[in-house]
């Protein structure tokens, strides 16, 4: 195969890796595994010490993984590590609600039986997912993980990129990928600006144990103050993502456990019997933050570094895994064709594939949150009528189910369950 003209072989051989990933949270490891599967040498630098996170007990953090994300995780060798630890999501029920009345009679109901692929998604605890990523990375000979190391500077030239770590060590590669989360320093250092706004809401995140089984049903209650998601975990446990106006959330978080539960109960209702806390209590201030470009010379952004969205539909990580599938496919195919995969025209293919999709989804979630996080009676009537109409139309309902399962749109091969 022809070598790319602007990337002499001598320079490539001197580089520490083909691709350097800043951030070993969730999308970073997924991308490293996807790229390594295509024969590329990858170094992942993560500020957090890896063993501490993998060996942690259950801290209440969990994710809903769409069906398509499960396919990607299967191909990159992560799914076998978590298959016995996940909770399938068989149904989703969404209802308008008011604290004190618990769940209103549901007005939207999605059942996985209406599509052929199986469960719409799976709930997995952060500690299990991260440990699975770590095990898979450690087993991959062409991945180097530097955890507990922080990138403090980066520079690019025609053939590659060099980063400097806080320890003073320097690393070079042909391409730098920022998987360093919502406040991406990789994007900032490259001069990529961001758009977005704060929601004035904070998510209270924890897990509860309950008397009755959840039967694999995920609930979303739309309260005037913000949505409450009750997501099934293995056993009689559920993950809670409870969005409240920030001042109120701060007050609730300051309560002791018993008063916290007393504040949650009227919102949660009693449909699962009595509830008690089963995880640490976290808060996350909610904002929308979109990078104004997903690429720069020798650089690409993936996951929250590119788009931090409202957790209303539990899609943040799923969007990131779509980025992973798209970028890995673009880079590996470019490499196979003998192109310089760090060149701007190659990176532009990734940006074109992902930027419109993520912006549309981020703004869609933003609108849903605005439409539902208020108590205007006219708006309540309009949205109840709208949702009732969706519920009454099987074709439309099926489309929503496929979207929730991540099966719509131009899916990268990994999300179709295929090798690149």
Ligand X SMILES: Cc1cc2nc3c(=O)[nH]c(=O)nc-3n(C[C@H](O)[C@H](O)[C@H](O)COP(=O)(O)OP(=O)(O)OC[C@H]3O[C@@H](n4cnc5c(N)ncnc54)[C@H](O)[C@@H]3O)c2cc1C
Closer Cβ to ligand X, 7 or 151, answer by number: 151
Within positions 132 to 171, which residues make up the interface with ligand X, using CB under 6 A? 150-151
Task: Find the binding residues for ligand X in span 46-65 (CB under 6 A).
Answer: 46-48, 63-64
> Minimum CB separation from ligand X for residue 317, in Å?
3
Please list every residue from 316 through 355 that binds ligand X, using CB under 6 A: 316-318, 320
Output 4 or 219, the one with its CB closest to ligand X. 219
Nearer to ligand X, 130 or 353 (CB): 130
Output the smallest distance, CB 60 to ligand X, in A.
Answer: 10
- Binding pattern for the stretch 300-319 against ligand X, x by CB under 6 A and - elsewhere: ---xxx-----x--xxxxx-
Q: Is 406 in the site for ligand X (CB under 6 A)?
A: no
Residues in contact with ligand X, total (CB under 6 A)?
Answer: 33
The CB-of-130 to ligand X minimum distance in angstroms stands at 9
* Rounded distance between C-alpha atoms, residue 372 and residue 175, angstroms: 42
Contact flag: residue 23 with ligand X (CB under 6 A) = yes
Residue 28 vs 342, nearer CB to ligand X: 28
Shortest distance, position 348 Cβ to ligand X, whole Å: 21
Q: Minimum distance between the CB of residue 202 and ligand X, rounded to whole angstroms?
A: 9
Per CB under 6 A, which of residues 173..192 are in contact with ligand X?
179-181, 185
Stretch that binds ligand X, among 23-31, 95-103, 167-175, 244-252 (CB under 6 A): 23-31
What pairs with residue 177 in β-bridges?
A: 21, 300
Residues contributing to the site for ligand X (CB under 6 A): 22-28, 45-48, 63-64, 150-151, 179-181, 185, 203, 205, 241, 284, 303-305, 311, 314-318, 320
């Amino acid at each position: 195969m022809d070598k790319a003209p602007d990337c002499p072989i001598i320079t490539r051989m001197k580089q520490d890796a083909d691709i350097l990933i800043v951030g070993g949270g969730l999308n970073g490891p997924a991308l490293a595994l996807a790229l390594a599967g295509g024969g590329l040498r990858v170094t992942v630098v993560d500020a957090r010490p890896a063993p501490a996170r993998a060996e942690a007990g259950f801290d209440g953090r969990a994710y809903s993984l769409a069906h398509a994300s499960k396919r990607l995780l299967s191909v990159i060798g992560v799914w076998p590590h978590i298959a016995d630890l996940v909770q399938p999501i068989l149904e989703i029920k969404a209802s308008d609600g008011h604290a004190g009345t618990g769940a209103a009679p549901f007005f939207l109901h999605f059942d996985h039986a209406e599509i052929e692929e199986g469960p719409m998604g799976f709930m997995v605890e952060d500690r299990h997912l991260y440990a699975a990523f770590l095990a898979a990375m450690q087993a991959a000979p062409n991945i180097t993980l530097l955890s507990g190391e922080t990138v403090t500077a980066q520079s690019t030239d025609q053939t590659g990129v060099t980063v400097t770590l806080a320890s003073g060590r320097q690393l070079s590669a042909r391409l730098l990928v920022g998987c360093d989360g919502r406040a991406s320093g990789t994007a900032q250092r490259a001069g990529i600006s961001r758009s977005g706004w704060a929601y004035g809401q904070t998510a209270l995140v924890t897990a509860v144990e309950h008397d009755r089984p959840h039967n694999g049903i995920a609930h979303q209650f739309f309260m005037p103050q913000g949505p409450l998601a009750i997501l099934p975990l293995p056993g009689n446990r559920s993950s809670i993502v409870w969005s409240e106006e920030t001042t109120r959330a701060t007050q609730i978080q300051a309560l002791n456990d018993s008063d916290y539960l007393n504040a949650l109960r009227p919102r949660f209702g009693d449909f699962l019997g009595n509830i008690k806390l089963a995880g640490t209590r976290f808060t996350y201030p909610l904002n929308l933050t979109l990078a104004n470009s997903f690429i720069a010379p020798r650089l690409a952004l993936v996951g929250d570094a590119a788009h931090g969205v409202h957790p209303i539909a539990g899609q943040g990580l799923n969007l990131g895994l779509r980025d992973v599938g798209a970028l890995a496919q673009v880079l590996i195919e470019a490499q196979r064709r003998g192109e310089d995969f760090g060149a701007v025209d190659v990176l532009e293919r990734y940006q074109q594939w992902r930027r419109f999709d993520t912006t549309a989804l981020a703004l869609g979630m933003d609108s849903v949150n605005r439409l539902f996080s208020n108590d205007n009676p006219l708006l309540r009537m309009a949205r109840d009528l709208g949702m009732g109409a969706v519920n009454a139309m099987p074709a439309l309902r099926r489309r929503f189910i496929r979207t929730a399962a991540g099966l719509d749109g131009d899916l990268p091969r990994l999300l179709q369950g295929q090798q690149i």
